[in-house]
Amino acid sequence: MKKLLNMILAFFVVLSALPLVNAQASELSFAEIEVEGTSVVLNDEIMSIAIVKDLTESRETSLPIRVRLTSTKEFKDLKVSAWIGGYEFGVPRATSDPFDMTTYNTQVVKSVVLNVPLPKDLESSKEYKLNVEAFNNEITIKKEIKLNIEGKRHFVDLFDVVVNPGLRVDAGTPLIIKARLENLGDRVEDNIKVTAKANLVDKEGNSFTVSDSDFIDELVPRSEERGDDESSTSTDDLLLIIPKSTKQGAYKLFVDVNFNRGTETVSAEYDLTINGKESAISDADILISSSEASKSTPKGTQVVYPVQIANLGKEARTLIFDVTGVKDWAAASVSPAALTVAPGSTSELFVTVTATEGATQGSHIFALKVLENSETVKELNLQGQVVGITQSTTSEFRKGLEMAFLVLLGLLIILGIVVAIRKATMKSETEEAKGETYY
C-alpha cells in the first residue's frame, strides 16, 4: 500500500509540472522565420515550405535565415541554431552567439540572422529538413520545416584539379594538369570544354599566355548514371609548357570549364610560382613523372606503377624503357616496352613489379630508365614497400591449388574411363575377328 501511495504521489507531481513546462515554453516562441527573405513561419505557425533557388544562378555559398523570437519572460544565454537534415555528407549548421532577452515587464522581440553553409551538391530529387532551434539550459523550442531545392538545369562542377609536378616550378619545367568534373545539374551536358592557362611574362617584360584544352563528350546527371553513362570523369592531361625565358615571379594558373552550349563557365584559379633558375634536366624535351611513385608491394602480388611521359619538343621521340634495381627482391616488366611520343603530347606506360617470396621486407628503391638510341635520356626513381603475404592471399592461393587438384583429378578419372572403354572395345573386336570363318 505504501508503494502504491508513493507511485500515485509521483504521478501527481509530474502531472502538476507539465503545465509549468508548457507555460514556460509559451513564454518564448517564434514570431517569424524567414528563409532567403520569404516568411516560412509566422506567429509560431509553419506557413510554407522553404525553397532554395537554383545554385548556379544564385552563386550562394550559404543559406540566409532570419529568426525573430518573442518573449514575455526574461531569458539568459539563449542561442539560435539552424541546420539542414538529410544531407549525405554531413550536417550543414550555423549557431548564433549567446544573447539575453530582457522584457522590462512587457513583450520583447529579438532578431537573429544565421547563414547556414549551403553545399552545392544538394539534389533536387531528395527531401531535406530545415531545423531551427532556440535554447538555453532552461528551455528549448524547435521548428522543422520542409526544404525544397529547385532543380538545377545546368551545373557542371570542377570537383578537383591535380597539377604535376606542382605549383612551384623552375622555368623550363612543363606543367601537366588533370581536372575532374561532375554533373550536378538535371540535364545531360555534352561538348564540355576544359581549358588550363597561365598568363606569363618573359625576362624582357613581354606578356604571353600558355594554354591547353580538352573536350568531354557527355556527362549525365547523377540520377541517370548507369552502365557506361557517367556523371563524372577526368580530362586527358593538359600540357602547359613554361618556357625557359619566363621571368621569375608569382603568377596565376586558371582552369575554366565551359558548358551549356558555351553560355556558362565555372573557373578555379591557383597561385603559380616560377623560380628564377632554369630546370636542370638532362633532356629538356622529355618529362617523366608518376602520380604513384611509392606503393605497397605484398610478396607474390603484382603491383602496377603508372608513369607519364611528355614530349615537349618539335619532333616525335621513340623511347625504350628498362627497370633496374629489382634483381635482388622482385621481378619487373614495362608495358609497352617501347613508345613513340608525338611532339607536344603525353603518353602513359605501366611498370609491373612482383616481389619475390625471399624479398626483404621494407623499402626498396628502383629506377625506370628512358633510353633513346641506346643512351639514357631520363631516369625516374620508384619505391616499393615490401610486406609479407597476407592471410587472404595465402587462403586464395590454397584455394587455387585445391581447385587445380580437383580439376586434375577429374581429368585423370575421365582419362581412365576413356582408356578402359578403348581397351574393352579393342578386346571385343579382336574376339569377333577370331570367331569368324571364311570359306
Higher pLDDT, residue 56 or 140: 140
Q: What domain range includes position 191?
A: 156-278
Higher pLDDT, residue 422 or 433: 422
Tell me: do 267 and 294 sit in the same domain. Answer: no
* Average per-residue pLDDT for the chain: 80
Whole-number pLDDT of residue 279: 47
Tell me: do 241 and 322 sit in the same domain. Answer: no
Residue 383 clears pLDDT 70, i.e. is over it: yes
Q: Using pLDDT thresholds of 50, 70 and 90, give the confidence band for residue 41.
A: very high
In 373-423, at which residue ranges do the beta strands (DSSP E only) sit? 375-387
Which 8-state DSSP code applies to residue 138?
S
For residue 227 the three cell numbers come to 552502365
Position 406 in a domain: no
Q: Using pLDDT thresholds of 50, 70 and 90, give the confidence band for residue 78.
A: very high
- The phi, psi pair for 16, rounded to 5°, reads -70, -25
Tell me: do 121 and 182 sit in the same domain. Answer: no
Position 142 in a domain: yes
Residue 170 clears pLDDT 60, i.e. is over it: yes
Position 260 in a domain: yes
Determine the average pLDDT of the residues in 266-276.
90
Whole-number pLDDT of residue 99: 94
Tell me: do 144 and 59 sit in the same domain. Answer: yes
Handedness of CA 281, 282, 287, 290 (dihedral sign): negative
- The phi, psi pair for 236, rounded to 5°, reads -70, 170
Determine the average pLDDT of the residues in 136-148.
92
Tell me: do 177 and 134 sit in the same domain. Answer: no
Higher pLDDT, residue 437 or 350: 350
Position 328 in a domain: yes
Tell me: do 31 and 6 sit in the same domain. Answer: yes
Tell me: do 105 and 206 sit in the same domain. Answer: no
Whole-number pLDDT of residue 201: 93
Tell me: do 123 and 160 sit in the same domain. Answer: no
Tell me: do 189 and 144 sit in the same domain. Answer: no
Whole-number pLDDT of residue 20: 40
Higher pLDDT, residue 52 or 25: 52
Which 8-state DSSP code applies to residue 359?
P
Q: Using pLDDT thresholds of 50, 70 and 90, give the confidence band for residue 49.
A: confident
Tell me: do 59 and 197 sit in the same domain. Answer: no
- Overall number of domains in the chain: 3
Higher pLDDT, residue 256 or 88: 256
CATH number assigned to the domain comprising residue 136: 2.60.40.10
Position 371 in a domain: yes
Whole-number pLDDT of residue 212: 92
Position 424 in a domain: no
Whole-number pLDDT of residue 26: 66
Q: What is the pTM of this model?
A: 0.50
Whole-number pLDDT of residue 289: 86
Q: Using pLDDT thresholds of 50, 70 and 90, give the confidence band for residue 95.
A: very high
Last residue of a domain, one of 387, 403, 424: 387
Whole-number pLDDT of residue 5: 57
Tell me: do 34 and 135 sit in the same domain. Answer: yes
Position 431 in a domain: no
Whole-number pLDDT of residue 437: 44
Residue 405 clears pLDDT 80, i.e. is over it: no
Q: Using pLDDT thresholds of 50, 70 and 90, give the confidence band for residue 22.
A: very low
Give the pLDDT confidence of 280-312 residue by residue, as tens digits: 444 668 888 887 888 888 988 899 999 988 888
CB 26 within 8 A of CB 69: no
CA-CA distance, 361 to 364, in Å (whole number)?
9
Last residue of a domain, one of 97, 123, 149: 149
Tell me: do 240 and 338 sit in the same domain. Answer: no
For residue 317 the three cell numbers come to 621521340
Last residue of a domain, one of 114, 149, 184: 149
Position 196 in a domain: yes
